[in-house]
Amino acid sequence: MIALMALDLLAIAAHPDDAELTCGGTLAKAVERGYRVGVLDLTRGEMGSRGTPADREQEAAEAARVLGIHLRENLGLPDARLESNLDSRLLVARKIRQHQPRVVILPAWEARHPDHSTCTRMAYEACFLAGLAQLELEGTPHRPFKIVYSAMYEPMRPSFVVDVTAQYELRKQAILCYRSQFGDQKTWGDISPRMAGLVDEVDLRCRYYGSLIGVEYGEAYTLKEMIQIDDLVTMPVRSI
Ligand SMILES: [Zn+2]
């Protein structure tokens, strides 16, 4: 998969399968709307207790095909020792310049797995660096317009929920491509050891966030900035 034009939406994740577990439905929905969509995984997940990096690479490619996304890349940074240093930030900034995403999805900034919160910090700083015209880095300076943070697995109040009811089956299929992670164990791996029963728990989380906006399945996000509404008359989600 080669990026021939700018991406509309790019998810940046610490490990292969994180993007599917957090925003797979949103990515599939964006593809259906005709947007150009990509995933940038920072590590190959080589420290995971199950599956080899080669397994996970193949699984990630399969999951990308299921979601229909246009680009999936892996930076091959060290799993479980992910560090936000200048080198790693510049690697990500180079990808931001290369793919020029309009919107970036990052993990929640407070996350149990240190790689997830490091990914958030590193990618945020990389998005900033990528826009600096004076920075000595190949490519055209670019800063994403919008950064949203997944709020699916952390105890934080979402700013908004995306209705993924129509994409839920694709989302599930994409997660189940990671047979090395979920084939027999059916646990959530590094996302949350508290939860067992992958399919049930995915269902529960998405149903809960869906219920907050009155639909069957939803994916939750949070923002640092405020949401602008210009027309109160057409606002979705019933109050009473
Ligand atoms: Zn992860």
Q: Give the dihedral of Cα atoms 75, 196, 121, 126; nearest 10 deg.
A: 30
Q: What's the pLDDT score for residue 16?
A: 93
Q: How far is the CA of 18 from the centre of ligand 1 (A)?
A: 5
- H/E stretch holding 192: none
Q: How confident is the model over 218-237, as pLDDT tens digits?
A: 999 999 999 999 999 999 99
The CATH number fitting domain 9-224, selected from 3.40.50.300, 3.40.50.20, 2.40.50.1020, 3.40.50.10320: 3.40.50.10320
Q: What's the pLDDT score for residue 113?
A: 87
Q: What's the pLDDT score for residue 4?
A: 58
What are the structural domain ranges in the chain?
9-224
Question: Rounded to 5 degrees, what angle do the CA atoms 43, 47, 49 make?
Answer: 130
Q: What's the pLDDT score for residue 192?
A: 54
Q: How far is the CA of 16 from the centre of ligand 1 (A)?
A: 7
Q: How far is the CA of 150 from the centre of ligand 1 (A)?
A: 12
**Sites in the chain below the pLDDT cut of 70:** 1-4, 183-197
Dihedral sign computed on CA atoms, order 127, 129, 131, 136: negative
Q: How far is the CA of 116 from the centre of ligand 1 (A)?
A: 6
Mean pLDDT, all residues of the chain: 91
Q: What's the pLDDT score for residue 191?
A: 52
